[in-house]
Amino acid sequence: MKTNNLGYPRIGEKRELKKSTEAYWKGELPAADLLAAVKAIRRANWERQRNAGIDLIPSNDFSFYDQMLDMSCLLGAVPARFEWSGSQVDLDLLFRIARGTRGGKGASSTASEMTKWFDTNYHYIVPELSSGTAFRIAGTKVFDEFKEALELGIRTKPVLIGPVTYLSLSKMTDAGASAASCLDLLPKVLPVYIEILKRLQDLGAEWVQLDEPIAVLDLSPAQKQGLAKAYAEIRQAVPKLKILLASYFGDLRDNLADFMKLPVDAFHVDAVRAGNELDAVVAALPVDKILSVGIIDGRNIWKNNLAQSIKRLESVRGKIGADRLWIAPSCSLIHSPVTLRNEVRLNGEIKDWLAFAEEKLSEVSTVAAALSGKDVAAALSANHASCEARSKSPRIHNPKVKARCAAVRPEDIRRQSVFSVRDEKQRQKFCLPDFPTTTIGSFPQTAEVRSTRAKLKKGEMSQADYDSFIAIQVQDAVRRQEAWDIDVLVHGEFERNDMVEYFGEQLSGFAFTENGWVQSYGSRYVKPPFIFGDVERPNPMTVRWSQYAQSLTKRHMKGMLTGPVTVLQWSFVRDDQPRSETTKQIALALRDEVNDLEAAGIHVIQIDEPAVREGLPLRRTDWAAYLRWAVDAFRLSSSGVADDTQIHTHMCYCEFNDIIDSIAELDADVISIETSRSNMELLGAFVSFKYPNQIGPGVYDIHSPRVPATDEMVNLLHKAQTVLPRRNLWVNPDCGLKTRTWDEVDPALKNLVAAAKELRHSGAR
C-alpha cells in the first residue's frame, strides 16, 4: 500500500523562508543566498518525507509566494502593466506582481489582487487574464525542482494547479467581461499545460498531481464541461504520463459521478471533510483507477485516531484491493504548522494530543504500514493512549460550561425590545449629534508599544510598569480624541497584541504554540491559538482598561470585544464537538464580558465580527445552517444588556449581497463597515434590503497611508445619505488604525470630524 503526500509546508521550521525573503526584499541578502536558502528548505522537506516513508513525494509545492501566482508565471500570464518583455518570468517580476512596485515605475504597477484560497486563511494572487493573454511556458521552476530532487535520488510527483481551477479562480480584465468568461480561455491554456506535462514526462516524471479543488464547489455547466474537455485532451496528448487528480476541502456531492469519470489514473479525495462520501466514492471508482484517501486532517492540528482510520480503510481495501489504495493527508500540509519538535513550552499533556505536518507524515505511514500487515503495535498503542487521554481529560470537559450551553433559552438570544424601541431610548440617553463620529477601536501600535510588550513577554519589565505604560497610552488617546471632538471614544487597544490572541489568552480552553506558524500570504504567517477544551471566562478580560478610559472623560467610551465567530474562525478548533457548540461557549463567555462592561458603566459596546463572511461554507446549500448558528452566537453574546446599552458591530468588508438578511439579524444597534475604497457603491446591499439599524460606512481608507481630505469624506457621506436615512448614519474610518502612524491618523481624524460637522449643518432633516 502506497503513501501519498499532496504538499508540504515551505516556510521552514524556523520561518527560514520569511526571513530570507524579507532580507532579500530589503536588499540585505543577495539573490544567490536566497536561492540557496530555499534550496535547503526543499531538500530538508523531501528528505523528511522520504525518511517518513512517503512514496509519492510532491515537488513544485514550494513557492516564494503562492501556487496560483507560480502557475501564472509558468503560463506567462503577466498583467500588461508590468511591461514584461516576454521571455522568462524572473523572481523579481513575480514579487512585483505580488507586491506592486513602490516608487520608480509609479502607479502603473500596483500589485495584483489577493484573495483567500477556498475556505482557508491562505491567500493567492488572483491571475489577471484577458482575451489577449498569450499563454506560453515562461518559467522553469516546476522542471528545475523536479531535477533538483532527482539529483538527491528522489523521483517526485510534480504538483500543478489544474487548468479548470486555475481559470475559475482568475479574473478577466477585458471591459465588460464576466468572471465566468475566464473559462473561454481553456482552449488557449490547454496546449501549454500539455507542453508542460510532456516536458515533465521527458525529464522522467512518472506521476503528476493536478489539483482541481473546484470539484468541491457548486459547478456551472461550463466548469463541468471544462473538466471533461481538459482531461480528455490531456489524456490523449500524454497517454503514458500518470495523472493524479486531486480534490480537497469538501465533498464532491453532485459532481462525484462526473469527476470519477475523468480519464486520469488516480483520484484523491478528502476523507476528513467528506468522510460520509467515502463509500460512494469507492463505489464510483472505475476498476482500473487508484484512490488516494486523504484520511489525516491537513487543516487541523489534532492527532489522528489511527485505529478508527485503519478500520475505515480496511473496508475500502476490502472493496478495491491494497494496490489501488493510497493513504494520504486530506489536503496539502501547508495549512498545518510545521513540526511539534520545537514546542518546548507547551504543556506536555496537551502537546501529546497534537500532530503538525511532520507528525502527520508519520501518521500516514503508520496507517499504511498497519494496513500492509506490518507490526506497528507500539505506535498504535501510543496513539490509542493519547486519544483516550484527550477524550477523557478534565482539561477538556467542564460540566458547568456544558450545562450552561444546554440551558440557553430563546429569550437569551433576543434583546429586551425591538430596535425601534431601543433606538429611541438610546437617543435620549446618549444625546449624540447627527452623524456621530467614532473609530473602530485600535490606535497606532507604535514601535514603542510593540517593544514594550516584547519586554514584558521576555520578563524584562514588570507587569506594573507595563500597565503604567499602557495607562499613559490610553490617556494620550483619550486626550487626542477629545481634541479632535470625536463623539464616542475608544481606549485604543494598546494592550492587545492581536484581536483573537488577547481573548484566547484569558479564556480557559485555549492554548498557544511558540512556532505553530502557517502561511497566510507571501511572507505573512499567522500563529492561530487552538481551542482544545470547553471555553470559560474565569475573569473579566477588558473591563479594567475600558473602565479606566471612561474615568478619563465625560464622553461615552466604547468597550471593544472580538465576536464569537471571529474568535472561532481565526483559531484551530477542537474536532470532538460541532463548531457551532464551541462558538456557543465562546459566545457565553463574551456575554458575561458584555454584561460586566455594562455594569461597569460602559454603555456602548462593540463586538467585532470581521470573520463572519469568510466562515461561509463552500456550498450554498450549507450556508443557511451556518448563518443560523453564527447569528445566534452573536446575539447570545450581545443580548444580555438593557435596551439603552448600545451594541455596535464591525466588519471589514462590504460584500454583503448574499448574506445581508443575516447581517440584519445580528440586530446590532450600529454596524460599521468598509466602504471608502468602493466609493460607497458597496452600500447597495444595505439599500435594496432597507437595512433597519444604524450604520457607519467607512469614509477613511485605513489601508493606505494617504490622509483623506475633508471634502472627499463629505462627498462620500453625501452619497451615503442619498441612499440611507440620514438619522441612521455614523461617521467612522473603514477599520482599526493600528497599522497607521499618529502622523497620518491625526490629520485624517481631524478631517473626518470636520466632514461630519459639515454634514450636520448642511440640509435639514
* Cβ count within 10 A of residue 725: 13
Binding piece for ligand GLN, criterion CB under 6 A, among 47-55, 175-183, 204-212, 437-445 = 437-445
Q: Which of 441, 444, 529, 696 forms a contact with ligand GLN (CB under 6 A)? A: 441
User: What is the footprint of ligand GLN within residues 533-562 (CB under 6 A)?
Assistant: 560
Binding piece for ligand GLN, criterion CB under 6 A, among 2-10, 44-52, 297-305, 732-740 = 732-740
* SS3 call for 722: helix
Considering the candidates 123, 268, 648, 703, report the single residue annotated as catalytic: 703
Strand stretches in 419-551, DSSP E: 488-489, 508-511, 518-521, 524-526, 530-536
Name the phi and psi angles at 212, rounded to 5: -130, 65
What string marks each residue from 671 to 710 as x (binds ligand GLN by CB under 6 A) or -? ----------------------------------------
Q: What does each C-alpha distance from 24 to 27, 42, 415, 646 come to in angstroms?
A: 5, 18, 54, 49
Q: 643 is in the binding site of which of ligand GLN, Zn ion, none (Cβ under 5 to 8 A by kind)?
A: none
* Cβ count within 10 A of residue 544: 14
* Cβ count within 10 A of residue 618: 17
| Shortest spacing between CB 702 and Zn ion, in angstroms | 8
Binding piece for ligand GLN, criterion CB under 6 A, among 152-160, 233-241, 362-370, 435-443 = 435-443
Binding piece for ligand GLN, criterion CB under 6 A, among 272-280, 405-413, 436-444, 662-670 = 436-444
Q: Which of 295, 567, 652, 745 forms a contact with Zn ion (CB under 5 A)? A: 652
Q: 738 is in the binding site of which of Zn ion, ligand GLN, none (Cβ under 5 to 8 A by kind)?
A: ligand GLN
* SS3 call for 294: strand
- Is 440 among the residues that bind ligand GLN (CB under 6 A)? yes
Q: Which is nearer to ligand GLN, 366 or 438 (CB)?
A: 438
User: What is the footprint of ligand GLN within residues 631-670 (CB under 6 A)?
Assistant: 650, 652
Q: Which of 480, 738, 740, 757 forms a contact with ligand GLN (CB under 6 A)? A: 738
Terminal alpha carbon distance of the chain? 75
Annotate 629-684 with three-state secondary structure: HHHHHHHHHHCCCCCCCEEEEEECCCCCCCCHHHHHHCCCCEEEECCHHHCCHHHH
Residue 406 contacts residue 398 (beta carbons within 8 Å): no
Q: 189 is in the binding site of which of ligand GLN, Zn ion, none (Cβ under 5 to 8 A by kind)?
A: none
| Shortest spacing between CB 569 and Zn ion, in angstroms | 14
**DSSP per position, 368-403:** HHHHTT---HHHHHHHHHHHHHHHH-TTT--HHHHH
User: What is the footprint of Zn ion within residues 610-629 (CB under 5 A)?
Assistant: 610
Q: Which of 608, 701, 712, 734 forms a contact with ligand GLN (CB under 6 A)? A: 608
Q: What value, to the nearest 5°, has the Cα angle with vertex 581 and ends 580 and 582?
A: 95
Q: Which is nearer to ligand GLN, 7 or 708 (CB)?
A: 708
Q: Which is nearer to ligand GLN, 120 or 442 (CB)?
A: 442
Q: Which is nearer to Zn ion, 250 or 610 (CB)?
A: 610
Residues in Cβ contact with 209 at an 8 Å cutoff, skipping those fewer than 6 apart: 6, 56, 58, 157, 158, 159, 160, 243, 244, 246, 268
Q: What does each C-alpha distance from 405 to 412, 530, 597 come to in angstroms?
A: 11, 20, 22
Q: How far apart are CA 765 and CA 762, in angstroms?
A: 10
Q: 441 is in the binding site of which of ligand GLN, Zn ion, none (Cβ under 5 to 8 A by kind)?
A: ligand GLN
Q: Which is nearer to Zn ion, 205 or 612 (CB)?
A: 612
Q: 499 is in the binding site of which of Zn ion, ligand GLN, none (Cβ under 5 to 8 A by kind)?
A: ligand GLN
Q: Which is nearer to ligand GLN, 96 or 558 (CB)?
A: 558
| Shortest spacing between CB 674 and ligand GLN, in angstroms | 9
- Is 735 among the residues that bind ligand GLN (CB under 6 A)? yes
CB-closest chain residue to ligand GLN: 736
Q: Which is nearer to ligand GLN, 196 or 735 (CB)?
A: 735
* SS3 call for 615: coil
Pairing type for strands 530-536 and 508-511 reads antiparallel
* SS3 call for 117: coil
Binding piece for ligand GLN, criterion CB under 6 A, among 108-116, 236-244, 427-435, 735-743 = 735-743
Count of residues near ligand GLN by CB under 6 A: 13
| Shortest spacing between CB 152 and ligand GLN, in angstroms | 43
- Is 610 among the residues that bind ligand GLN (CB under 6 A)? yes
| Shortest spacing between CB 651 and ligand GLN, in angstroms | 7
- Is 12 among the residues that bind ligand GLN (CB under 6 A)? no
Residue 1 contacts residue 326 (beta carbons within 8 Å): yes
| Shortest spacing between CB 672 and Zn ion, in angstroms | 8
Q: Which is nearer to ligand GLN, 89 or 440 (CB)?
A: 440
| Shortest spacing between CB 541 and ligand GLN, in angstroms | 14
Cell 469568510 -> residue: 614
Q: What are the start-end ranges of the H helices in 171-294?
A: 186-203, 221-237, 256-259, 278-284
Q: Which is nearer to Zn ion, 247 or 562 (CB)?
A: 562
| Shortest spacing between CB 207 and ligand GLN, in angstroms | 42
Pairing type for strands 171-172 and 128-129 reads parallel
Residue 182 contacts residue 223 (beta carbons within 8 Å): no
Q: Which is nearer to ligand GLN, 200 or 440 (CB)?
A: 440
Is 123 a residue of the active site? no
Q: Which is nearer to ligand GLN, 163 or 610 (CB)?
A: 610
**Type and span of the H or E element at 167:** helix 163-168
| Shortest spacing between CB 570 and Zn ion, in angstroms | 13
Q: Which of 474, 589, 735, 748 forms a contact with Zn ion (CB under 5 A)? A: 735
**Type and span of the H or E element at 556:** strand 556-562
**Type and span of the H or E element at 299:** none
* Cβ count within 10 A of residue 224: 16
Q: What does each C-alpha distance from 576 to 409, 533, 579, 587 come to in angstroms?
A: 24, 9, 9, 18
Cell 458575561 -> residue: 592
Q: Which of 59, 63, 247, 442 forms a contact with ligand GLN (CB under 6 A)? A: 442
Residues in Cβ contact with 651 at an 8 Å cutoff, skipping those fewer than 6 apart: 608, 609, 610, 612, 613, 663, 671, 672, 673, 674
Using N-to-C axis directions, what is the helix angle for 357-371 and 377-392, rounded to 10°? 120
Q: 251 is in the binding site of which of ligand GLN, Zn ion, none (Cβ under 5 to 8 A by kind)?
A: none
Chain positions contacting ligand GLN, by CB under 6 A: 440-442, 493, 499, 560, 608, 610, 650, 652, 735-736, 738
Chain positions contacting Zn ion, by CB under 5 A: 610, 652, 735
